[in-house]
Amino acid sequence: MYDDGDEDDAAPPGEPADLQRQHILLHDTAHVWHPYTQHHQAPLPVPIVRAKGSWLYDTHGKPLLDAISSWWVTTHGHCQPEIVQAITDQAASLDQVIFAGFTHEPATALAAELVGRLPRGLTRIFYSDDGSTAVEVAIKLSVQSFANRGQSRRLIAALDHAYHGDTFGAMAAGARSVFTNMYEPLLFDVARLPDPSEGDTLAALDALIAARGKELAAVIVEPLLIGAGGMRVWDESVLQGIRERTSAAGVHLIADEVLTGFGRTGPLFACDRADVRPDLLCMSKGLTGGLLPLGATAATEDIFDAFSSTDRRKTFFHGHSYTANPIACAAALASLQLFDEDSEDERVRIEVAHMRHLATLEGTKGVRAVRQIGTVAAVELDAPDGYLSDIGRELAAFSLEQGILLRPLGNVAYCLPPYCTTDREIDAVYAVLQRFLDGERAAPIGTGGPFDD
Ligand SMILES: *Cc1c(COP(=O)(O)O)cnc(C)c1O
């Protein structure tokens, strides 16, 4: 990590692990502001120096099993060699080029490969930087496509408990919560539909279309899995019902597949599970396999056509400095290729391992509910709800001591591992959860590191 001897800040090579750790933390404490972190009371962050497969390693070489795919991004595994190679090769030949007026093969090949795998009808790819920007782009494309055709449809409908990102448009579409309350007056109004895992979304959508159908531009959903809002799994038939109703009313369906995309729920996209074809589909987290940031919004030709005009005001005036960064696109291409190999078998294997463990946990003391879709398993703990619930932080601290990275959403613990995670590694995750449920808060045992299966 410190081979760049030119940096006068860096500790010299060969420095003992303790000093390396102190060095990182000194700068961290003095100058770094972490996401979703209350610096006044947060424990010191864990310096990580290396990663491989489903494991992270700290300064002392202590292994930590990444059971949450590092915030849901790592698909195949950390430092996946084929993707590392693609990044290395691309960085040495074309690093970056403005994407207005210029193009390049990593972006064109990736667009073609994505279109070949996306739900049918999505034929145009607009690149951006991350999940939030992919959502911003989708919302803006929907609203402007109507405006360009002389229709004033500006209303967006979204689900209760939805999470679509942290930029303003994405926050507006997301559920109001402790994350967004202070910005409330700055967020545009959204029509809210019940979370399909607990309410009658379709009846509410029928009522909304009857009352305000002509104002409605789009319904945005996290298909089949409301993620950050508590890993809530919902029915394919509801997604199909939303599609039927939006199609009939001439309203766009935006599928925010930032979490669900790239195999998380089983098939490559959650929409495929329900055989639903959205008008717009947002991708990011797993797009590059989790090695580099990249966002993409897929759109139908009909939406693209709404912008095609001799009137320059109908242009989509939106772009990011790093739009279609060649290195990120090359990583995504390499990742897509891995999906054509044995990824599906791995995902099915993880799905089966989850099922086995959840069947045991269901009805156990301390467990209110269990949920699963594809490689995502969630266990709702019997404790006060909410993101600020203490039990989640206790579990995170306990599992960290045991060498496993979990980050519960309030009282909802979940396991969302990289696809290379072995059955024994998954067993280790559930073993820690079970010990926690048994009331254990014991001294660290540790996993001992990667298991040879
Ligand atoms: C994480 C997430 C986002 C935001 O993505 P970022 O890359 O964090 O901006 C949007 N939608 C969903 C469903 C997500 O899970």
| Domain shared by 190 and 43, yes or no | no
Sign of CA dihedral 203, 208, 213, 217: negative
Residue 322 lies in a domain: yes
The DSSP letter of residue 42 is P
Query: Where would I find the H helices in 149-198?
Result: 168-173
Residue whose entry in the numeric block shows the structure tokens 């996290």: 222
| Domain shared by 285 and 176, yes or no | yes
| Domain shared by 67 and 88, yes or no | no
Please state the domain count of the chain: 2
Ligand 1 centroid–CA 15 distance in Å is: 38
| Domain shared by 67 and 95, yes or no | no
Annotated binding site: 71, 131-132, 163, 256, 285, 319-321, 407
**234, 224 Cβ separation under 8 angstroms:** yes
Ligand 1 centroid–CA 349 distance in Å is: 26
pTM here is: 0.94
| Domain shared by 365 and 320, yes or no | no
Residue 3 lies in a domain: no
Residue 1 lies in a domain: no
Q: How far apart are CA 141 and CA 300, in angstroms?
A: 11
| Domain shared by 334 and 356, yes or no | no
Give, for ligand 1, the residue of 36, 129, 132 to mutate: max count of ligand atoms closer than 8 Å to Cβ: 132
DSSP states along 10-30: SPPTT--HHHHHHHHHHHHHH
Q: How do the pLDDT tens digits run along the chain, 453 residues long? A: 333 334 444 445 556 899 999 999 999 999 999 999 999 999 999 999 999 999 999 999 999 999 999 999 999 999 999 999 999 999 999 999 999 999 999 999 999 999 999 999 999 999 999 999 999 999 999 999 999 999 999 999 999 999 999 999 999 999 998 889 999 999 999 999 999 999 999 999 999 999 999 999 999 999 999 999 999 999 999 999 999 999 999 999 999 999 999 999 999 999 999 999 999 999 999 999 999 999 999 999 999 999 999 999 999 999 999 999 999 999 999 999 999 998 999 999 999 999 999 999 998 999 999 999 999 999 999 987 666 678 999 999 999 999 999 999 999 999 999 999 999 999 999 999 999 999 887 555 667 778 755
Residue 447 lies in a domain: no
Residue ranges making up the domain that contains 26: 17-79+341-438
In total, the chain counts a number of residues equal to 453
